[in-house]
Amino acid sequence: MSITTTTGVHILVYPYPTSGHIIPLLDLTQRLLSRDLTVTILVTLTTSLLLEPYLSTHPSSLKQLVLPAPSPDIFCPPQKRIVSNVRAIRDLHYPMLLQWFQSQSSPPMAIISDFFLGWTRHLASELGVPRIGFSPSGAFALSVGFSMCRDPHEPDDPEDLNFQVSFPKIPNSPVYPWWQIPPHVRCFRGDPDKEFYMSNILDNAASWGLLFNSFVELERVYFDH
């Protein structure tokens, strides 16, 4: 896994391995490369194909670090696959990344990783580098995610799909029926994975910084929040 980098600021970019998360982070990577940064982007064999156009246009400043993807848990119910996958990625990649960083003569000076990979805050702390969380959507969406983890608001009856979930600490106080809350959040009642999921998401709020796929004129009130 040895990588030779050019001189200058070196950043590790770590997407969550689905297209809806990788493509926005590749757009950000393109902007970093245009500012003469060196970027190592973590991919799996499946997602590495998305890098080909960028590697050809930035052959000296863009590197790829190919790590194996975890084996899917075929017995995991659909609503728990995101949480199961995040845990499996952490368990597999954490020691590999620690070893890779320690083997580099010029390791990355910071980690930019997807918000589903909040656990990388602890990796960055162990390595002594800042970790920046990346949201492929906007500030409002992540505000709702933080609120669901900090102040969970659940119905007494899990079958009450019209239970109104409010977020009074978020500007404009959105309200949603329970059935519109993501399934991987609704399924956590009494589940031991609940604490892992919530701490993983809230690790983003405790990171050195946050980046959003958005702009101020669209979400000014939520950036302020």
* Structure confidence at residue 4 (pLDDT): 41
Which CATH number fits the domain that encloses residue 42? 3.40.50.2000
Establish if 61 belongs to a structural domain.
yes
- Which residue in the list 10, 58, 93, 114 is annotated as catalytic? 114
Quote the domain boundaries for residue 144. Answer: 10-150+203-224
* Structure confidence at residue 79 (pLDDT): 75
Instruction: Find where tokens 């995101």 sit.
Output: 82
**Cβ atoms of residues 136 and 24 within 8 Å:** yes
pLDDT exceeding 90 applies to what percent of the chain? 59
1 burial type by CB count under 10 A (0-12 exposed, 13-18 middle, 19+ buried): exposed
Handedness of CA 119, 121, 125, 129 (dihedral sign): positive
Q: Assign 127 to helix, strand or coil.
A: helix
Structure token pair of residue 167: 């977020």
* Structure confidence at residue 3 (pLDDT): 40
Number of compact structural domains in the chain: 1
Establish if 55 belongs to a structural domain.
yes
Establish if 155 belongs to a structural domain.
no
HEC profile of 57-91: HCCCCEEEEECCCCCCCCCCCHHHHHHHHHHHHHH
Establish if 4 belongs to a structural domain.
no
* Structure confidence at residue 74 (pLDDT): 67
Which residues, given as ranges, of the chain have pLDDT below 50? 1-7
Query: For the chain, what is the mean pLDDT?
Result: 89
Establish if 47 belongs to a structural domain.
yes
* Known catalytic membership, residue 157: no
Establish if 161 belongs to a structural domain.
no
Contacts 24+ apart (CB under 8 A), 148-155: 148/181, 148/185, 149/197, 149/198, 149/201, 149/202, 150/202, 152/198, 154/178, 154/189
pLDDT in tens, 167-194: 989 998 889 999 998 887 877 766 778 8
Give the bridge partners for 69, in sequence order: none
Cα 93 versus chain centre, distance: 14
* Structure confidence at residue 189 (pLDDT): 66
- Which residue in the list 21, 58, 93, 203 is annotated as catalytic? 21
* Structure confidence at residue 151 (pLDDT): 85
The span from the CA of 56 to the CA of 183, in Å, is 40
* Structure confidence at residue 26 (pLDDT): 94
E strands, the chain, in order: 10-14, 38-43, 62-66, 110-114, 131-135, 164-166, 175-177, 209-212
- The whole-model pTM stands at 0.89
Establish if 191 belongs to a structural domain.
no
Establish if 185 belongs to a structural domain.
no
* Structure confidence at residue 40 (pLDDT): 96
